[in-house]
Amino acid sequence: MTQIAKGIQKITLGNPENHTPESFRRHRMQKEIIDQLPVSKKNDDILKRMEWQISKRGITITLPMNTQENIYGFGLQLHSMNHAGRRRYIKVNSDPAADTGEGHAPIPFYISTAGYGIYVDTFRYTTFLAGTNAERGRSRAMTEENMPHEEFSESALYSLKKATEERRMVIDIPSADGVTFYLFEGTIMEIVQRYNLFSGGGCLPPMWGFGVWYRMYGGSCERDVRNFAAMFRKEQMPIDVLGLEPGWHSHSYSCTYKWSHLFPNPDKLVEDMKKAGYKLNLWEHVFVYPRAPFYEELYPYSGNYEVWNGLVPDFATEEACRIFQKYHTEQFVKKGIAGFKLDECDNSDYNPSNWSFPDSTQFPSGMDGEQMHMAIGTMYQNLIFDIYKAENKRTYSQVRSSGALASPLPFVLYSDLYNHKQFIRGIVNSGFSGLLWCPEVRDCRNGDDLLRRLQTVIFSSHALINSWRIPNPPWKQTDIEKNLAGEEMDTAQYYTDECRKLFELRMKLLPYLYSAFVEYHKTGKPPIRALIMDYPQDSQAETIDDEYMFGESLLVCPLTYEDGTSKTIYLPEGNWHHFFTKETVKGGRYMEIQAAYHEMAVYVKDNSIIPLAAPVQHVEKDTVFELYPSIWGNGDMTFTLYEDDFETFDYEQAQSKVTIRFESGKGLKIERNGSGPHRYHFTGLT
C-alpha cells in the first residue's frame, strides 16, 4: 500500500494484469492540485478490515460496509442512483434494460457516504455486491420466526430475510490473479474531485461545443446540408454544429470513411459551412469495411472476429492507432472537420446478427474481447483527442461508450434508449464518475414532449437535436411518418418559436457554462452534479435523482411530458430564486410547483451572480460576448469568468480571470487578471 497523493492510497494485490485503464492513461495525475484539497472526512477502518483471496475464477476483495452507507457512482447508471444493497455488474452493454449495473459506460469506481471511494483498475467484467451478502455463520444468532398464520402478510414474510447487521462490499474480479485498486478519501465532492484529478483533470471543450447541435437526417446529401444551414440562419435558430449521420460514408455498417455519392464536393462543403459559422461533425464507428483505404494495412492489427464484415482494430497496438490517426488527420481534421460521433462501441450483443465481437476474441496485443469491450470506447476517444491536440484544436465530440479515467476527454455519451426520466437520472449520475451525458432530443410524441425534452437538453453538457431519423426539424413535425412525408404540423410556428427561445436561453448561458467547465478542468469539480454533492448533510438530497446542479448556482428540476404541468420538487436549505419568474422561495422542503409545457423549474441559489450573454447565432473565432451580470440576493457575492481563445490549447498559456464582485451597498466591480484575449464586454446590470 502506498500513498500516491494526499487522500489517495494505492493498493496492489497479487499480480495485476498488463492491460488495465491505467496502462493506457494519456493524462497525468494532477498531484499538486490533489495535495491542496482537504480531506474533510475519513474512514480509517476500511483497509484494516479488508480481506482478499485469489482462486481459479479470479480475485475477490471484501471490504466492510455499514448499514447507513450510501453508494454512488459506477459510471453512467440510468436506472438507479444509490447502489447500496444492490448487485452491480460492471459490463458494457448498449441496451441496459434492467437495473443490473450494466450500461454504455459502467465504471468500477464508487463513492461511499462513509468517507471513501474505491476505483478498481481493471477491464474485467467486475461484480460489486454492495452489501447484498454475508458469510456463513453471521446470522447464526438470529431467532425471529414467521408470524402465525392469521397475521401472515407478504411484507412480514419478506422482512425476515433482510440482514440488519453490518454488511460487506464484495468485489469479484474474474480471470485475474491480481489487481491494483485505489482508495480516495474525503466528502463525496472531495472524492469525486480526487478521482477526476487522478484521471488527469476534467476536460475543457471549446466554446462552440456548448452551442446548439443539429444532427441531420441519415440520408441527407450535400444540398440538404446547405439548405438547412441557410434555413437556420434565416429563421434565426442559433446552431453551431451540424452532424452528418451514416449516409456520408460510401458504406456505413461497417465504415469506409470515404464520402458517398451524396457528397460530391466535401472539401468545398466544409469550407462553405465554416464561412457560414458552422462546425461539421462526422458519424462513424470503429469497424473497418474492406473498401476502407487502410483496410489492408490495419488487417494484422485487428482482432480475429469481424463486426458487420469489418475489422475490429486493436487500439492497444501503436500501429492500429497510428493508421487510424494518420487517415483521420489528413482526410478530416486538417480539412476542418471539428469532431466525430463514435457510435456502436458499446457491445451491441443484444441485437440480432453480428453487431459485436465475442468476449473470447483474441487481439494481437494480447487483450481478449472482454477487456476490449470495456476499453475500446476510451481508447477511441484518446486517439481522436490526440489528433486534435497535435493540431492545437479543441474538439467536442460524442461517444456511445466510455470507461474509467475518462474525465479529461471532451466526449459526451448518448444512447438510443429513450426514456426521459432515465435520461435525467443519467445527468445526475454521470457527474459522480467523470462522465458527460447528453439527454438528446430525438423522437417525441408531440410538440409538448419536444419542449420538455429540449428543456432538459438545454440544461445539460450537450445541447443536441438528433434528427437522424427525420428529414425535417422536429419543431415542424414530430410525427415521424408525416415528417418523412414532408407534412408540417398546424402548430409548427408555435413550436419553432418556443424552440428558438430555448436555443437562445442556451446561448445566454454559454459563458456561465464555460466557467463551470474551467473549474472542472482545474479542480475536478463536476460542472453538472447530484444535489447530494453540494448538500452532503441534507438527508433528503441522498436519493434525489431527478434534480441537479448546473454549474455553481443553478438548480434544475426538469419536468417530463408524463409529469404534466405540475410536480413535487425539493429545494435544499436557504433562499432560492425562480430563474424565470424571479419569485423567492424558502428551501429545506418539498413543494408542489406548476409549470406549463413551455415553462421550466430552475432556481438560483441565494447570493449568486449569473452572467448572461446576449445570445449570438453561433460562436465565432473572435466573438465578444455582451454580458449582463444578473444579481440574485442581497449579500456579497462573486462570479469568476475565464477568457481565452475558446478553441485551442493556448489557454494553457493565455487565460484571464475576470472576477465580478457584488458588495451590498457598493454595487458591482469587475476585475481582470491575466493575458487572455478580451472576449467579454459588460453592458449593464439587470
Residues that bind ligand GAL (CB under 6 A): 218, 245-246, 283, 343-344, 416, 466, 468
What per-residue string of b and e applies to 15-32 under the rule 16 or more CB within 10 Å gives b? ebbebbbbebbbbebbee
User: Min. distance of Cβ 322 from ligand GAL in angstroms?
Assistant: 27
- For the record, the C-alpha cell of 176 comes out as 485475474
Q: Which is nearer to ligand GAL, 21 or 247 (CB)?
A: 247
User: Min. distance of Cβ 111 from ligand GAL in angstroms?
Assistant: 29
Instruction: Output the CA torsion sign for 269, 275, 278, 282.
Output: positive
Q: Which is nearer to ligand GAL, 283 or 625 (CB)?
A: 283
Cβ proximity of 348 and 288 under 8 Å: no
User: Min. distance of Cβ 218 from ligand GAL in angstroms?
Assistant: 6
User: Min. distance of Cβ 440 from ligand GAL in angstroms?
Assistant: 8
User: Min. distance of Cβ 396 from ligand GAL in angstroms?
Assistant: 16
Q: Which is nearer to ligand GAL, 343 or 448 (CB)?
A: 343
- Among 529, 452, 418, residue whose Cα is nearest residue 196: 529
Q: Which is nearer to ligand GAL, 213 or 514 (CB)?
A: 213
Beta bridge partners of 640: 659
- For the record, the C-alpha cell of 384 comes out as 481522436
Say which residues have a Cβ less than 8 Å from residue 587's Cβ, sequence separation at least 6.
571, 572, 573, 574, 575, 576
Q: Which is nearer to ligand GAL, 468 or 512 (CB)?
A: 468
Residue 38, exposed/middle/buried by CB under 10 A (0-12, 13-18, 19+)?
Answer: exposed
User: Min. distance of Cβ 186 from ligand GAL in angstroms?
Assistant: 36
Q: Which is nearer to ligand GAL, 178 or 246 (CB)?
A: 246
Q: Which is nearer to ligand GAL, 25 or 249 (CB)?
A: 249
User: Min. distance of Cβ 398 from ligand GAL in angstroms?
Assistant: 9
CA distance to 46, 115, 133, 478, per residue, from 112 (Å)? 11, 6, 17, 43
- For the record, the C-alpha cell of 47 comes out as 483497509
User: Min. distance of Cβ 428 from ligand GAL in angstroms?
Assistant: 22
Rg of the chain taking only CA atoms, in angstroms: 25
Q: Which is nearer to ligand GAL, 159 or 309 (CB)?
A: 309
User: Min. distance of Cβ 331 from ligand GAL in angstroms?
Assistant: 20
User: Min. distance of Cβ 245 from ligand GAL in angstroms?
Assistant: 5
- Among 169, 133, 173, residue whose Cα is nearest residue 43: 169
Q: Helix or strand or coil: residue 326?
A: helix
- For the record, the C-alpha cell of 530 comes out as 447530484
Span between the terminal Cα atoms of the chain, in Å: 55
Q: Which is nearer to ligand GAL, 343 or 519 (CB)?
A: 343
Q: Which is nearer to ligand GAL, 314 or 344 (CB)?
A: 344
Q: Which is nearer to ligand GAL, 467 or 656 (CB)?
A: 467
| Helix %, strand %, coil % of the chain (to 5) | 25, 25, 45
Helix 510-523 to helix 188-199 angle, to the nearest 10 degrees?
A: 80
User: Min. distance of Cβ 581 from ligand GAL in angstroms?
Assistant: 36
Say which residues have a Cβ less than 8 Å from residue 372's Cβ, sequence separation at least 6.
123, 303, 312, 314, 316, 357, 361, 363
